[in-house]
Amino acid sequence: YTELGVATLLLRSVQAWAKQEGKTLLGHTGRPSKKYFSLKALPLINNLGFEEIFPQGSFYYPKPPDLEKVWVSFKP
């Protein structure tokens, strides 16, 4: 999943475009609570070169309400 998933391939193509154009990418993903610990999106995009934007712990998705929204950026 982490290497061959459609989302990973799409993200890598957008990263290649950003590098070519010198653009910064901004997006968000979720940091799960213990209930949603099986979600692994944040470690995956961190491995792809995205960095978290601080402050943390202040934004949550509407549903489920305990899934923290984490803003990330990629700078070529």
Q: What region does 49 belong to: left with phi over 0, alpha with psi -120 to 50, or beta?
A: left
Is 70 exposed, middle or buried (CB count within 10 Å of its CB: 0-12, 13-18, 19+)?
buried
Phi, psi values for residue 48, rounded to 5°: -90, 5
pLDDT digits (tens, 9 = 90+) for 8-67: 788 889 999 999 999 999 888 877 777 767 777 777 788 888 888 876 666 777 777 777
CA atoms 24, 25, 28, 29: torsion sign: negative
Q: Are 49 and 67 in contact (CB under 8 A)?
A: no
Global pTM reads 0.64
